[in-house]
Amino acid sequence: MIGNSHLASFKLGWDVIASQFPSVSPSFFGSPAGGLSRLKLKGATLVPRGEKLKRDLEFTSGGLSSIDISAYDAFVIVGAQAGLLRMLQFNQRHRTANWLGVSTYESLLSGVCFQEAARGALRGRRAISIIRMLRSVTDRPVLLSVEPFFSLTVKPKSQFWREDAVSALDRMRPIYEAEMDALRSELGFTLIDQPAETVVEECFTAPEFGSGSIKLLEGLATAHSDGEHRHMNSKYGALVARDAVQQLFSITAPGLARLAAVVEAPSLMTRLRERAIVGHFIGR
């Protein structure tokens, strides 16, 4: 499994459900602070550029410093900037003339320019870059698990974000779905959406799936600070990890035995751009 900081919930969630899938033996590869941007393809292996990413891969995988693509049966990308949430964030900073009175942002774009920029933003996500590298050397199954919506606990902190996200949903969802369909057709991956039972008020995550979330740090025992709303806990991770395995079983023979995952955390600059309110996973 390959992903960003959201890998922590997957890894802890897998511990909860592992006994239900005795034939599956996953490997996890993660890096916080945008580390996966330094992952490159060398032959048929994903290798780190730099010691920091190398150490992160070794920590999350239990000793492996690179990802031998031929060694896995399937790949799951977790987070890595992919998902409708990121499209809502894109809408935070831009508007078109026909949104006067609906959106107050001063970055004014034409309708065509806005849609092309939004599509380009989705195509440029780190998850898509990793899938492209995989697809250049393998036709094995690839799944993409999107980043979850913010926890509903964000609402009291930011009326601004709450109102903007809800108002943007109808504008951004059609663009997101059309472009994601095009990417799936082009690259041949399966999309894992956020489990419906975790979503409340259309574009938020129920607080029970966010409370007690853990940072992607060695030992996986460091809790996020109070008020964290971007990351989810092992309960959420178990739901999505189960979805991933079940979808892989539906694609491959029931004998699927090896699974690899990669995760990455948002960089400091990303967090600053998100105004502190608003994280990749590959499995084979």
- This prediction has a pTM of 0.81
Question: What mean pLDDT is reported for the chain?
Answer: 81
CA distance 57 to 51: 10
Determine the Cα–Cα distance for residues 47 and 49; give it in Å rounded to an integer. 7
250-281 pLDDT, tens digit each: 887 544 445 555 444 444 334 333 333 233 33
**Does residue 277 contact residue 229 with C-beta atoms inside 8 Å?**
yes
What percent of the chain is modeled with pLDDT above 90? 44
Q: Do the beta carbons of residue 228 and residue 5 sit within 8 Å?
A: no
CA distance 266 to 206: 21
Residue 4 predicted with pLDDT over 70:
yes
In this predicted structure, the answer to whether residue 212 has a pLDDT above a threshold of 60 is yes
Segments making up each domain of the chain, as ranges: 2-87+119-163+171-273
pLDDT (tens digit per residue) in 126-169: 899 999 999 999 999 999 999 999 888 876 555 555 666 667 78
Structure tokens at 223: 């809790």
pLDDT at 56: 92
| Strand bridging mode 190-192 / 142-145 | parallel
* Cβ–Cβ < 8 Å for 5, 266: yes
Q: What is the pLDDT of residue 118?
A: 80
Q: Are β-strands 45-48 and 67-68 bridged in parallel, bridged antiparallel, or unpaired?
A: antiparallel
